[in-house]
């Protein structure tokens, strides 16, 4: 499957992360879904898969957004 889902509960350890293929389904309170299809990123008139570095950059952006936003969200 082109979609990878990573799930974990609060207070987790690295060994507790669950990775699965397929559409997003809520199984834990924290989940990340990454679409790895070859048509995700448009670049110069063609498409390509997302890179690991792009996913890691996006995770950093999520972290910064959560840090700067009100918690819990309203």
* pLDDT digits 0-9 by tens, 49-69: 999 999 999 999 999 999 999
When the pLDDT of each residue in the chain is averaged and rounded to a whole number, the result is: 88
pTM of model > 0.75? yes
Name the burial class of residue 53, with classes exposed (0-12), middle (13-18) and buried (19+) by CB atoms within 10 angstroms of its CB: exposed
Q: Does residue 43 have a pLDDT over 70?
A: yes
| Mean pLDDT value of segment 18-22 | 85
């Amino acid at each position: 499957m082109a979609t990878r889902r990573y799930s974990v509960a609060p207070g987790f350890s690295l060994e507790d992360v669950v990775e699965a293929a397929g559409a997003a389904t809520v199984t834990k309170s924290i989940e990340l879904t990454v679409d790895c299809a070859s048509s995700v990123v448009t670049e110069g008139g063609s498409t390509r898969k997302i890179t690991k570095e792009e996913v890691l950059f996006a995770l950093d952006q999520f972290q910064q957004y959560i840090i700067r936003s009100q918690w819990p969200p309203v």
